[in-house]
Structures are given as C-alpha cells and as structure tokens.
C-alpha cells in the first residue's frame, strides 16, 4: 500500500499559511525565543498536534519558517551573465532579510540549527551551486564572499543592508 500523496492546496495550504502567519506575528511581538508551539497553534486556530506532527518542536518550526519565502524551487535569475545573476540573486536575499520579521526568523533559525546547517544555508548553497555551474567560481567562494556578509549584516548590522549591498558583494567576487 502506498502513502497518500500530500495535497498542495486546500485545507492543508490554508493551515500552513495560518501557522506561518502566526509564527511571524509572534516573533514580531514576543521575540523568537518566546514562541512555543501551543502559542502558535492558538494564534493559528489549529490543534497543537497539527503543528507538532509537521515540525516536532518550536526550534525546527522556526528554522523552517525562517526561509519559506525564499522557496528553493523558485526560478533563479538567468540573464546569461553570472555576475548579473549573482547580483539579482543576492539582491533578492538582501530584500528578504531587510524585513525585520524575516531577520528575526533568520536569527532564531540560525540559533536553533546547532551543529548542523540551517535550512537557510543549505538552500542558499544549493542555489549557489546552480548559479555557478559551468563556471570557475565555486560555491564556497559565493558563500564566503556574498552570503556570509549578508547573514552577518542581518544578525549584527541590519541597518547596513542597503540597495547597493548585493552589487558591492558580488563586485568583490567578480569585479565589473
């Protein structure tokens, strides 16, 4: 007997959207360290078992929700120029994390990731690999030169993220 296919729409999608919204609201109001699954379930209007079944604990839930808007299945820039693609990609990430709730979720997700990689880093590495395929640039160079400075700024210097951040960082990797 095969497992039933997961539905991508309908009630499941509505419940997931409600939970994500509840997490964002609670992080904004209370800070990520004070978000619990019972609080999220109450705010979302769902049974806590629905939340536990999907994530198991608050740390895993926050780590997952920290990056859901940067869906790894979204189309990546494809201009024909590696430099332009990296700038567009980095600008999207900067724009995402300039929103205070997304920055708070990233900080919380990173804090709970422990020794393993956070979903954010894992997904950005996979995207970087797609972008630099067939080039001399390595994923590690992209992570060290573009992603790490963005994440550092999100955590420690959020006001330093501006419209030129992506260009400045990519210029270090691939001068114009």
Domain ranges (residues) in the chain: 10-65, 82-173
> What is the spatial distance between Cα 19 and Cα 50, in angstroms, rounded to a whole number?
10
Contact 118, 109 (CB under 8 A): yes
* Least confidently predicted of 96-105, 115-124, 165-174: 115-124
Between the alpha carbon of residue 113 and those of residues 8, 81, 108, 121, 168, the distances in Å are 26, 34, 9, 10, 28
Q: Buried b / exposed e across 60-88, counting CB within 10 Å, b at 16+?
A: bbbbbbbbeebeeeeeebeeeebbebbbb
pLDDT at 89: 96
The Cα–Cα gap between 65 and 53 comes to 15
**pLDDT tens per residue, range 48-104:** 999 999 888 888 888 778 766 666 667 899 999 999 999 999 999 999 889 888 888
59 burial (CB, 10 Å; 0-12 / 13-18 / 19+) is middle
Neighbour-count burial of 120, counting CB atoms closer than 10 A to its CB (0-12 exposed, 13-18 middle, 19+ buried): buried
Q: Report the share of the chain in percent with pLDDT over 70.
A: 84
Q: Domain 10-65 belongs to what topology?
A: Arc Repressor Mutant, subunit A (1.10.10)
**Which pLDDT value is given to residue 68?**
67
Chain mean pLDDT for the chain: 86
pLDDT at 149: 97
> Pick from 128, 7, 132: which is nearest to 72 by CA?
128
Per DSSP, the residues of 3-34 read PPPPPSSHHHHHHHHHHHHHHHHHHHHH-GGG
pTM score:
0.76
Mean pLDDT of the 137-141 span: 97
| Rg from Cα positions in the chain | 18
Q: How far apart are CA 89 and CA 124, in angstroms?
A: 10
Between 6-20, 25-39, 40-54, the lowest mean confidence (pLDDT) is in 6-20
């Amino acid at each position: 007997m095969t497992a039933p296919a997961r539905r991508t729409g309908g009630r499941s999608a509505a419940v997931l959207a409600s939970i994500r919204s509840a997490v964002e609201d609670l992080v904004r109001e209370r800070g990520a360290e004070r978000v619990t699954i019972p609080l999220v379930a109450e705010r979302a209007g769902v049974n806590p078992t629905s939340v536990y079944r999907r994530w198991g604990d608050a740390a895993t839930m926050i780590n997952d929700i920290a990056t859901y808007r940067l869906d790894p299945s979204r189309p990546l820039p494809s201009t024909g120029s590696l430099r332009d693609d990296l700038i567009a990609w980095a600008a999207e990430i900067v724009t995402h994390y300039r929103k205070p709730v997304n920055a708070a979720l990233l900080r919380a997700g990173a804090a709970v990731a422990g020794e393993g990689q956070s979903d954010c880093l894992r997904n950005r590495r996979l995207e970087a690999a797609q972008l630099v395929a067939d080039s001399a640039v390595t994923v590690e160079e992209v992570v060290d030169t573009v992603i790490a400075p963005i994440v550092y700024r999100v955590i420690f210097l959020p006001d330093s993220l501006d419209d030129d951040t992506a260009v400045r960082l990519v210029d270090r990797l691939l001068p114009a």
